Amino acid sequence: MSDFEIQEIVQLDRTVLNEILEESNRAGYRHMQRLMNDFIEGHNRFDHTGEVLLGAFKGKELIGICGLNQDPYHFEPGVGRLRRMYVLEAYRRMGVGRELVHEIIRRAQAHYRMLVLHTDSYDADVFYRSIGFVRADQADRISHILHLHHYNETCTCKNEERIINMEEYYWDTKIEYLKNTRNLYYNDDYLEFLVKQVWKIQSPVHIVDYGCGYGYLGLKLLPLLPPGSSYTGMDQGEKLIDKAKEIYKNLPYKTTFIVRNIEELQAEPQYDIAICHAFLLHMTDPQAILGKMIRSVVDGGMIICMEPHWISAMSNIVLHGEDSSNVANLGILQKLFENDQKRLGKDGNIGLKLPIYLSQLGVRHIQCRVSDKVNFLDVHMNEAEKEQLFQSILEDGLGSPPGNREEVIANLIQRGLTRSDAERQYEIELNLSQILSIDSYLVSAPNMKITFGTVIGNS
């Protein structure tokens, strides 16, 4: 969504705030009422140095609001507090809240060295950490902190160049995880079969990889593509892009790597193929991202999405000597995945939905495949290979210790499970972490869903 404007609010009129007030009160949130009361009574009008109240307006309608104060609780200089954040439910997961917070951060940089906030909401925690805030669990009246001297921004918005570089973009911290787990999905001969027999790529192509990470797909596909093909990798993680450039610098391929927040991309038709791998499941509005991917492809080009269907992957695990229900309780997991999708928009089961989404977005000649690799942890296999596979399985989340019992259970309840289901899920994860070892017999098949089709009408 781009048809809204961020404006400074100097006089807060109750009639303007009314829809937000009514919705927030119905939901049990009182911070919007406090905002209105404090403004009327003069306790907090966001009018001191370094303070501002911002609104997101769609026409004359106020659809989101967020404020910046000098921190009233800690008298240390240089600390600002992000406060009174709310976006109407109908406009969530459309970039409204993110744009409000980005603008608050931009303004805070001129006055503060640190920005703090307080929330006890799981959804808000995920949102703020995605922007670059880090948890501050031991601090009084502070749940999250952003050190502003580490924060820059880089995007194009309303013809204004801004620089965005999150302090610790999550996937920048997961480079080793990405390198250690990508080998679980495909055999090389199957990728060759896809390129030559299924996708039938017979002439040079320019391919763009959205959420490219360190360039895994390029490493796999470029040796299989016709000579003269080129690869552009796009990712929000600066460290990931730096790693990709380092990996590719001595390879004989034409490549370009771009640090870019895909959610803010203004796409134009320029690529023959747009591809992604385990990317859309992390997006809060995957259909909007699919739209951008499609718009970046020339008429007659191809879009390829390689995404998981978590529940089927969890059903494809056999640990010798254990009942499958002690390895993965599919009913509980399905509740978790569905609740997370409803709350956050992120969908770990998106793989099987992509044919529908692509068809609805105008893609034609849609076909689907599934990844071929079955991983077998065999007690008799080569020790080095066994160690590598075992570590990859652990890195991918299977058999990892679940952590503090009460914290994990509280998190699962917040994600929508009953206490009994949360306790059951914790016991399954704990038991699996205790019985799975390098000397176990384990068979697993991730079954990534591969959906592709032809882009029609772009020019």
What confidence score (pLDDT) does residue 154 get? 34
What confidence score (pLDDT) does residue 276 get? 97
State the average pLDDT over residues 390-404.
86
Provide the CB-side half-sphere exposure for 84 (13 A, CA).
Answer: 26
Scanning the structure block, which residue is given the tokens 């893609």? 363
pLDDT tens digits, one per residue of 342-395: 888 889 999 999 999 999 999 999 999 999 999 999 999 999 899 989 988 988
The region, left, alpha or beta by phi > 0 then psi within -120 to 50, assigned to residue 234 is: beta
199-238: burial string, b at 16+ Cβ within 10 Å, e else? bebeeebbbbbbbbbbbbbbbbbbeebeeebbbbbbbbbb
What confidence score (pLDDT) does residue 436 get? 92
Residue 298 pLDDT greater than 70, yes or no: yes
Query: How would CATH label the architecture of 175-309+348-367+448-454?
Result: 3-Layer(aba) Sandwich (3.40)
pLDDT tens digits, one per residue of 13-38: 889 999 999 999 998 888 999 999 99
Rounded Cα distance between 269 and 285, Å, is 21
What confidence score (pLDDT) does residue 129 get? 83
What confidence score (pLDDT) does residue 137 get? 63
Residue 43 pLDDT greater than 70, yes or no: yes
Give percent above pLDDT 90 in the chain.
Answer: 65
What confidence score (pLDDT) does residue 120 get? 82
State the average pLDDT over residues 277-298.
94
pLDDT tens digits, one per residue of 356-369: 999 999 999 999 99
Which of 52-56, 363-367, 394-398 is the least confident region? Answer: 394-398
Rounded Cα distance between 412 and 426, Å, is 9
Query: Confidence class of residue 148 from pLDDT cuts 50, 70 and 90?
Result: confident
pLDDT tens digits, one per residue of 232-244: 999 999 999 999 9
pLDDT tens digits, one per residue of 108-131: 988 888 899 998 887 788 888 878
pLDDT tens digits, one per residue of 66-106: 999 999 887 567 889 999 999 999 998 888 999 999 999 98
- For 5-168, CATH number? 3.40.630.30
8 Å CB contact between 192 and 166: no
Domain with CATH 3.40.50.150 in the chain: 175-309+348-367+448-454
What confidence score (pLDDT) does residue 155 get? 33
Higher pLDDT, 342 or 425: 425
State the average pLDDT over residues 187-199.
97
Query: Confidence class of residue 39 from pLDDT cuts 50, 70 and 90?
Result: very high
| Sequence letter at residue 146 | L
Mean pLDDT of the chain: 89
What confidence score (pLDDT) does residue 219 get? 95
Secondary structure (H, E, C), the chain: CCCCEEEECCCCCHHHHHHHHHHHHHCCCCHHHHHHHHHHHCCCCCCCCCCEEEEEEECCEEEEEEEEEECCCCCCCCEEEEEEEEECHHHCCCCHHHHHHHHHHHHHCCCCCEEEECCCCHHHHHHHHHHCCEECCCCCCCCEEEEHHHCEEEEEECCEEEEEECCCCHHHHCHHHHHHHHHHCCCHHHHHHHHHHHCCCCCCCEEEEECCCCCHHHHHHCCCCCCCCEEEEEECCHHHHHHHHHHHCCCCCEEEEEECCHHHCCCCCCEEEEEEECCHHHCCCHHHHHHHHHHCEEEEEEEEEEECCHHHHHHCEEECCCCHHHCCCHHHHHHHHHHHHHHHCCCCCHHHHHHHHHHHCCCEEEEEEECCCCEEECCCCCHHHHHHHHHHHHHCCCCCCCCCHHHHHHHHHHCCCCHHHHHHHHHHHHHHHHHCCCCCCEEECCCCEEEEEECCCCC
What confidence score (pLDDT) does residue 72 get? 85
What confidence score (pLDDT) does residue 395 get? 84
Domain with CATH 3.40.630.30 in the chain: 5-168
What confidence score (pLDDT) does residue 149 get? 57
Query: Confidence class of residue 166 from pLDDT cuts 50, 70 and 90?
Result: very low
State the average pLDDT over residues 170-188.
80
